[in-house]
Amino acid sequence: MPTVGEQLHNARETRKLDIYHIAEVTKIRTDHLRALEEGNYNLFSAAVYIRGFVRTYATLLKLDVPKIMGDLDRELSQTEKFRTTPAFTKASRGPLDWLMLFLSRLNWRMLAVAAVLIALAIFSLATFTSRKKPPHADPLINLGPGLYQSKQGGELLPLPTNAPPR
């Protein structure tokens, strides 16, 4: 059974297409196309690039893309570098991850409407309770006795002893 690279190379040769023409049409560099045809996948940093380039190349050559991709997956599983897909994040999750997940699931529009309604209710309640007090109550009713305490016990202030000159 021919490899994916051999299938791509044979299909390109059958259609008498130049590798530079393929590179111009697909916007894939010629060294990457040659590496794909040779099966040299170590040139690529991740398997996603290989899959994308092979899919584009096979589509241009009008090959059976699902079959080619299945063959490519089998070939990549045999290589050491592309055997497993690396994880994007660590497996351990902390309280910050839980909080961010919880906040991402909230319906912010409904939460904003509820916050406005609660603020309106608090404002209405505060306005209603402030109007409940009688408006003509004596404001000085809670004040204690004044600061001046006369020694003579009279209700009036004592007269000054020396009057200022006129």
pLDDT score at 85: 62
Tens of pLDDT along the chain (166 residues) come to 789 999 999 999 999 999 999 999 999 999 999 999 998 988 898 889 999 999 999 999 999 999 999 999 999 888 888 776 666 666 677 888 888 888 888 898 999 999 999 999 999 998 888 776 665 677 677 776 666 555 666 566 666 677 667 6
Task: Decide if 23 contacts 29 (C-beta within 8 A).
Answer: yes
pLDDT score at 147: 61
Residues 14 and 18: their CA atoms lie apart, in Å, by 11
pLDDT score at 89: 64
Check residue 106 and give left, alpha or beta (phi > 0: left; psi -120 to 50: alpha). Answer: beta
pLDDT score at 127: 87
Q: What is the pTM of this model?
A: 0.52
Q: What is the pLDDT of residues 96-137, one digit of tens each?
A: 888 888 888 889 899 999 999 999 999 999 888 877 666 567
pLDDT score at 78: 86
Chain center to CA of 115: 22
The token duo for 81 is 């570098």
Q: Where are the domains of the chain?
A: 4-78, 105-131
Give CB contacts under 8 A, 24+ apart, made by 157-162: none
The token duo for 58 is 């096979």
Question: In which residue are the tokens 């991402």 written?
Answer: 104
pLDDT score at 97: 84
The token duo for 152 is 């003579």
Topology of domain 4-78, CATH: 434 Repressor (Amino-terminal Domain) (1.10.260)
The DSSP 8-state label assigned to residue 63 in this structure reads -
